[in-house]
Structure 1
Amino acid sequence: MAAVTLPPLWGILQLDKGEPYGYAQIPGMIQSWIQDAGGFAIAGLILYLLYALTVPTDKSQSERLRVPVSRWMLFMFALALIGYAVVGALLVLQWRGTVSLFGQPIAPPPLPVPEPGVPFVLPPPTVHTDWQSLFLTFAGLFALLGIGEPFARDLLKILRKNFSLGLAPLVRFGRAVRTWSTSLLTTRQSWWLAVGLGLYLLAGAGLYAAEASRLFAIWLGWLLVALGVLVGALLVLLLFEAEGPIWAVAKLSFKEALSSQMLWIFLLVLAPYAFRNIWMANIKPSDEIRALIDVTNIVLAVLLLVPAVLLASFYGLPNDIKNLNIYTTASKPIERFELVLGRFVGYVALMTLVLLGLAGANLVLIENTNVSERARQETYKARVPVRGKLEFGSLEAQYRREKREFTGENVGREFDYRRYIAGHPYSAQRAIWHFERLPASLARVPGDRVPVEFTFDIYRMTKGEQNRGVSVNFRFVTHQALQRPPRPNEGGEWHWRDEQREQEYQKAVEQLRARGINPDGAVPGSKAWEEVNKLAEQFGFFEIRGKEVFDFTVMGVEIPAGLIRNALQGEPPRIKGKDGQERPAPRLSVYVKCESPGQMLGMAEPDLYLLEYEQPFAWNYLKSMVGYWCWLCIVIGIAVACGTYLSSVLSLLATAVIFIFGFFPEHLADVAYNRNIGGGPIESMARLIRAEQPTTPLSESVASRAVTLFDRFSAWVFRRIQNVIPDMESFNWSHFVAEGFNVNTEYLVVNLLTTFGYLLPWGILAYYLIKTREVAA
């Protein structure tokens, strides 16, 4: 069939670490969290019990109340120790060669550790049912229940004290609005504010009269953003007027931050637009929105995170302790942990309002910035793709020289993200995308046309023709037209497994041609397209030959919706995969072949997808801000928790180190598994001192063996504490927005759950630090 040409699109979204986690990974994430948090919990429980034993019995009642030890805590501690003892016994059995026990595996399958220089990609989290994983989960759960018992008991008491229903907050709200406005703005500042608003309104009237539509749109957008932030501020103020110490501390933190005059720094969000002609001077017209989003989001992140960590470190608990304010507060009828929660809530509330304002101002400017129309057509949208699983196929292993299945060629590029197939009319190599599930909406699209978009890399073995792409064939088949690999005497052509069915299809095509209908030239909306739809719905087969594909350009073809209707019919038969396991056949498969001799076509799994529908860009941009909000919560939570014991400067440094290290998960994984080229930290230091190359083998000496042993031990220790540092990149959706892809709601739900799960252990740590700390006057 002939290709239907679509306008070229740029949507090169690179997912080299796999698809982001969704709802299917939540059970595995919970199990992994229990195991990791439980490991820290048992260590904290041991330290706490040892500390409790050191408290003399002749101390005052208040001293003993600060370190309570209940029977529940001791019972959970005993159960956790038994669980970890069983895990230790299982490790001994595993070391002695035992694989299973009572028909159940002892340990999960080992993680594949790639060679140095190859990206380390962890498999998606799943629930493991081996003995070691189960006992680690149960032991971690008991440890969490033990150390969390005082925390949960006091937290419930705090919640009952700070959450109540009634009209009293509404009455106080009316008085608080006037009090806050007068306390935050002096008479002179109020006059200046009124003059500024008046000038702003006059400027808007002038722009409207001058018919400057773009500038007036920016003026109106900023006005709406300001009104939205004002409404949000009133809601926050209403929340702060509720009964309870948390809201009182939160309100105090909010007002202290506002009075610090630090918020004027947020005007720097306009700086990138002032120098737009400089940093976008060498940007291609099609990449203008990409560059605009990348630069402005970097500035937005810096303007959010730096003030947030400074406020939480220097205006929080360390400042109260330094100025002796906490001595007065601790003498009031208030739980110490309410001070921590109040500070956290106050700073998060303030920075959330700032995030809304800055994101809204950025969005207004992006929407009204003068960029090329091509850039808007390519990236000013939010595609909702349907992705498949990629595998490579060629002659069966028994017919190949190396006697193994084809997995794609490696052309020797440093970044081994894409694999390649060789181009030739008689080539048997194929890149195959399998779609196990298809949305029913694709079967009812307008015009019976389903868009398919793809991005391929061309590796040229010969020069080829100038300004010409490579010729590519696309074959779309359903589970009712399964294909088989070619045999050596078949010229590289893939055939149907049901040969009789293939002959019936060829006969139906010939009948159409006899009626004067050419299926190869069918275009959507024509009579031929209607016949192609019927043919695809009957046989589950559609092919596009000779599509010209260019290097790193997302292009598109359209397939008939009848193919999707055929794919959704019936239950797929079970077939044997390359691993020898039987599983249901995919409902739809796409076979890609390169026809141009001397060229190689490279692809990764996200490079081809079905386009289900598109969403508005603005909504997608606002959804991406959820990740930034999670960043705010993490840095503020860490800074507030560290401030319960450390000074302001140390809290700032600890938060900054943890946050910055979170952007290098691959390097941290290399350190944890001792995979760095040149060895671990001690070996690297020794090589630097001796001026040795990283690839030079170590000498066989006692010192070298000691260095290697120490690096292995440090890697083991680092693996134990690796999860203290979160993967900050998993919260960043700028690349999705910049490339015009939708940020799925399930990704954001996982972000919120991850943030809560990460901050909960920090909250427990802050609870014990502030509770056991001597802060009485």
Structure 2
Amino acid sequence: MTSALFGILQLDQGEPFGYAQVPGLLQAWLQDAGGFAAVGLIAYLLYALSTPTDKSQSEKIRVPVSRWMLLMGGISLVCYAGLLGLIIMGKGALPPKPPLQAGDLAKLDPPTWHKELQPLLLTVAGLFALLAIGEPFARDVWTILRRNVSFGSSGARRFARSVAAAGADLLTPGRLTVVVAGLVLYAAFGALLYAVGVPKLLDIWTGVLLVGVGVLVCALFLLLMFEAEGPVWAIAKLSFKEAVRSQVLWLFLIVFLPFLFPLQWFYTGKAADELRTTTVFVTLVLSLLTLILAVLLSSMGIPNDIKNLNIFTVVSKPVLRFEIVLGRFFGYLALMTLVLLGLTGVSLVLVMNTSISDKAKEETYKARMPYRGHLEFRSIVGAERSDRKEFTGTNVGREFDYRRYIAGSGESPQRAIWRFPDLPSDLARAAGDRVPVEFTFDIYRMTKGEQNKGVFVKFQFATHNAPLRQPSRAEGAEWQWVLKDREREYRKRIEEYKAQGIDVLNLAAARPDNKPVWDKVNQLTEEFGFYEIGGKEVFDYQVMGVEVPAGLFRNALRGDPVKDAAGNPLPRLSVFVKCESEGQLLGAAEPDLYLLQNQMPYWYNYLKGMVGLWCRLCIVIGLAVAISTYMSGVLTLLVTCFIFIVGFFTQHLNELANNRSTGGGPFQSMSQLVKAEQPTAPLADSASTRALLFGDKSWAWVIRRVQNMIPDVDSFSWSHFVSEGFNVNTEYLVVNLLVTLGYLLPWAVFGYYLMKSREVAA
């Protein structure tokens, strides 16, 4: 599968989580984190009760039990008991999901706020459990904030001395000689490029220099932060300097740096896929470099301190134990952020100064801001079809039913219809009085056709002021105007324009660059709310487009849509797509056609896509530091890698958790594999079958309990958006940051208790 097809299939999974999903995410977080908090609270209270009274005072301080914890824990227990009662009575539950059919893709449902009694009670119970277990954590965090966050100038006064000390420490005479020689050679190389006159290489030279200066400025800013008063910043500075001195950092940079060069420098492929392939490859290299390096560095910090007895010196000072955890986290995160900034800047400079084909520029060297509608398939009215059902698109038998297909013929009534219930007002004021409409269709060929020829498609755009209806069998292939009088006026107006020598239906003349004719097209569409484009040649999986007059959108935004026969408001705009090539099928999915609101530059989108990778860095470092509070370095590394790698398969975990996998769960699948049965074969009604199904349900219950301990790693990847030329919306990134914070917070509480209960005093 090519990178283009893979990216399109990823986009088919639906829109990422935005602001509308935040309430649902919050409810899910309270339920999941609260459930783990309740289990942890029970274990904590049992441990505290089992601590003998003759223990040392330090042991009692490490496991305090307050009245607040008991009160909040009691309320949480009552709520969980009420939830158990509702489950036993079978009341207040979520509606069951429909069974998964063979060939269907089990998609993750977007999180929404559930108002049923069971999820509400589970949410309240989780909230009180979090309030109980989080009371000592919140108290110590408040103390840490007061000790480590200040706005005085003492840190700034120490900054110059710290820079000098750090420079003397890192830049020994030998290293300083190498650095100066390197800078002189770099400057000489730049002067040579300027003298010879190689603009592309000179731009790369300048870009890399600017990236280096930017990273240096950020490093100085971090050093200024580390000079703030407080143990957290001191430990963060120590962690930063230890990692910089580590040979692992420089080894990884030297090994992986050559892979940042654009792939088309070494590989010749399809011209339209140049930028797609390069973007995906460079993002993969950046991910491997930063994530592997981050987990190696952060897994060994605290375990090495304990192994080398360095931590005994730290805890003997007035330092809270969680300050050690926070210092390690911020130190490693600061270093890896600088590495990510530098590598991202270098890779972007190389990509933007590489020759890109015109086809790749047209398709992917941009950041589209699409406005999407809802897709449906229709043909002649269902009552007159042979199956007496509405047409919902043809399934051509492909493994995953991503797309449905419509038959191609001049007499075909089958349509793929995109409905837009509402429209952005800025489309009515589009530059040049034109709005681009882009699409990427799949062609399923029933006949060989002509070489290097696509299929011909007809587009009809109708607003709520000019609605179209399904034809009857007697009316043939064309969809009918509901308002016949308006149709006659529309046809009459076209003839009047023709009498004036203006053919608004001639696409060769009715173009935006032919302003007199295009103005008439805008007047016509603004008055009647209908526009038609016929004979558009479309190629398989190629990004193409047509331009629609902005007058159509001014008509669509005029007035309030009336209701149809079912009582639903008409969409403001409907786009009807018909395949006119005989013997071919045209496949479409909902994201395949969209209105182009705006475009952003590629480099800006590339930088925004790296925010997701930074969130992954936070998760990896946070996991490793939290786990390392109890485990050795090697075990921390293995556990962190296991949790993170399993995060790439959250969709499969979701299928197992909801028992919606095709062929059943692991027990049923194993039985069918041994018996050489097909996964879709019906199961016999027997005691062994019931035992297998019970085993699968039990396994699903276990997976549901632990699946949210696993981060959804793919939700932080934006390479498919960047490589396909689609803008990464800011709200997606804000939700990414919120999810990262929500995921790391329970791990922080977990690490807090592990570090607090561990015996590390000398």
- Comparing 709-718 with 367-376, which one deviates more in the overlay? 367-376
- Comparing 765-774 with 343-352, which one deviates more in the overlay? 765-774
Q: Which amino acid aligns with 1:620?
A: N
Cα separation, 1, equivalents of 2:756 and 2:344: 38
Write the deviation string for residues 427-456 of structure 1: whole angstroms up to 9, x where unpaired.
221111112232222212222111111111
Shift of 1:294: 1.3
Q: 1:704 to 1:488 in 2, by over 3 A?
A: closer
Q: Does 1:750 align with 2:735?
A: yes
Task: Name the structure 2 match of 1:188.
Answer: 174
- Comparing 604-613 with 348-357, which one deviates more in the overlay? 604-613
Shift of 1:618: 0.9
2:633 to 630, 648, 651: 648
Task: Name the structure 1 match of 2:112.
Answer: 126
Task: Name the structure 1 match of 2:62.
Answer: 66
Q: Which amino acid aligns with 1:296?
A: V
Contact 1:13–1:606 (8 Å) recurs in 2: no
SS at match of 1:575: coil
2:395 to 410, 418, 421: 410
Could you state the TM-score of these two structures normalised by the residue count of structure 1? 0.93
Shift of 1:598: 1.6
1:289 to 275, 293, 299: 275
Cα separation, 2, equivalents of 1:618 and 1:53: 58
2:331 to 346, 353, 368: 346
Q: Does 1:54 align with 2:50?
A: yes
- Comparing 242-251 with 689-698, which one deviates more in the overlay? 689-698
Shift of 1:215: 1.1
1:733 to 682, 698, 718: 718
- Comparing 193-202 with 403-412, which one deviates more in the overlay? 403-412
Task: Name the structure 2 match of 1:6.
Answer: none
Q: 1:616 to 1:123 in 2, by over 3 A?
A: same
Task: Name the structure 1 match of 2:573.
Answer: 588
SS at match of 1:520: coil
Q: 1:690 to 1:440 in 2, by over 3 A?
A: closer
Q: How do 1:315-714 residues align onto structure 2 when only pairs under 5 Å count?
A: 316-521=301-506, 522-524=510-512, 525-575=514-564, 582-676=567-661, 679-682=664-667, 706-714=691-699
SS at match of 1:585: coil
Contact 1:318–1:643 (8 Å) recurs in 2: yes
Q: Does 1:239 align with 2:235?
A: no
Shift of 1:676: 4.3
Q: 1:273 to 1:49 in 2, by over 3 A?
A: closer
Cα separation, 1, equivalents of 2:412 and 2:86: 51
Segments ≥4 residues shifted beyond 4 Å: 9-14, 273-279, 675-679, 682-708
Cα separation, 2, equivalents of 1:622 and 1:427: 46
Write the deviation string for residues 512-567 of structure 1: whole angstroms up to 9, x where unpaired.
22332211111223322111101111111111112121111121111100011111
- Comparing 619-628 with 62-71, which one deviates more in the overlay? 62-71
Q: Which amino acid aligns with 1:541?
A: F
Cα separation, 2, equivalents of 1:196 and 1:625: 29
- Comparing 192-201 with 388-397, which one deviates more in the overlay? 388-397
Cα separation, 1, equivalents of 2:12 and 2:381: 28
Task: Name the structure 2 match of 1:4.
Answer: none
Shift of 1:137: 1.2
Write the deviation string for residues 464-488 of structure 1: whole angstroms up to 9, x where unpaired.
3333222211111111112211112
Contact 2:208–2:346 (8 Å) recurs in 1: yes
Contact 2:322–2:755 (8 Å) recurs in 1: yes
Structure 1 unaligned segments of length 5 or more: list them.
1-8, 99-105
Task: Name the structure 2 match of 1:157.
Answer: 143
Q: 1:697 to 1:427 in 2, by over 3 A?
A: closer
SS at match of 2:319: coil
Cα separation, 2, equivalents of 1:769 and 1:270: 38
Task: Name the structure 1 match of 2:21.
Answer: 25
Task: Name the structure 2 match of 1:146.
Answer: 132
Cα separation, 2, equivalents of 1:193 and 1:114: 62
Shift of 1:116: 5.2
Q: 1:484 to 1:277 in 2, by over 3 A?
A: closer
Cα separation, 2, equivalents of 1:224 and 1:474: 48
Q: Which amino acid aligns with 1:164?
A: S
Q: 1:10 to 1:565 in 2, by over 3 A?
A: farther
Shift of 1:704: 6.1
Cα separation, 1, equivalents of 2:104 and 2:23: 29
Shift of 1:680: 3.6
Task: Name the structure 2 match of 1:3.
Answer: none
Cα separation, 2, equivalents of 1:50 and 1:704: 41
2:285 to 279, 299, 323: 299
SS at match of 2:759: coil
Cα separation, 2, equivalents of 1:477 and 1:689: 56
Contact 1:476–1:542 (8 Å) recurs in 2: yes
Q: Indicate the percent of aligned positions where both proteins have the same amino acid.
A: 59
Cα separation, 2, equivalents of 1:687 and 1:11: 34
- Comparing 508-517 with 180-189, which one deviates more in the overlay? 508-517
Task: Name the structure 2 match of 1:250.
Answer: 236
Cα separation, 2, equivalents of 1:736 and 1:592: 25
SS at match of 1:574: coil
Q: Which amino acid aligns with 1:375?
A: A
Cα separation, 2, equivalents of 1:194 and 1:367: 29
Q: How do 1:57-96 residues align onto structure 2 when only pairs under 5 Å count?
A: 57-94=53-90
2:298 to 297, 303, 312: 312
Could you state the TM-score of these two structures normalised by the residue count of structure 2? 0.95
Q: Which amino acid aligns with 2:552?
A: L
Shift of 1:17: 1.7
Cα separation, 2, equivalents of 1:454 and 1:50: 61
Cα separation, 1, equivalents of 2:415 and 2:262: 47
Contact 1:12–1:554 (8 Å) recurs in 2: no
SS at match of 2:208: helix
Cα separation, 1, equivalents of 2:684 and 2:98: 28
Cα separation, 2, equivalents of 1:503 and 1:305: 65
Structure 2 unaligned segments of length 5 or more: list them.
none
Shift of 1:508: 1.9
Q: 1:13 to 1:621 in 2, by over 3 A?
A: farther
Cα separation, 2, equivalents of 1:691 and 1:520: 61
Cα separation, 2, equivalents of 1:159 and 1:566: 57
Shift of 1:108: 2.3
Write the deviation string for residues 585-634 of structure 1: whole angstroms up to 9, x where unpaired.
22211111112222111001111011112111111111111001001000
Shift of 1:22: 1.0
Contact 1:568–1:587 (8 Å) recurs in 2: yes
Q: 1:519 to 1:11 in 2, by over 3 A?
A: farther
Q: Which amino acid aligns with 2:187?
A: L
Q: 1:116 to 1:247 in 2, by over 3 A?
A: farther
Q: 1:116 to 1:71 in 2, by over 3 A?
A: farther
Q: 1:126 to 1:676 in 2, by over 3 A?
A: closer
Shift of 1:682: 4.7
Cα separation, 1, equivalents of 2:167 and 2:58: 41
Q: 1:574 to 1:152 in 2, by over 3 A?
A: farther
Shift of 1:275: 9.2
Contact 1:113–1:120 (8 Å) recurs in 2: no
Shift of 1:708: 4.2
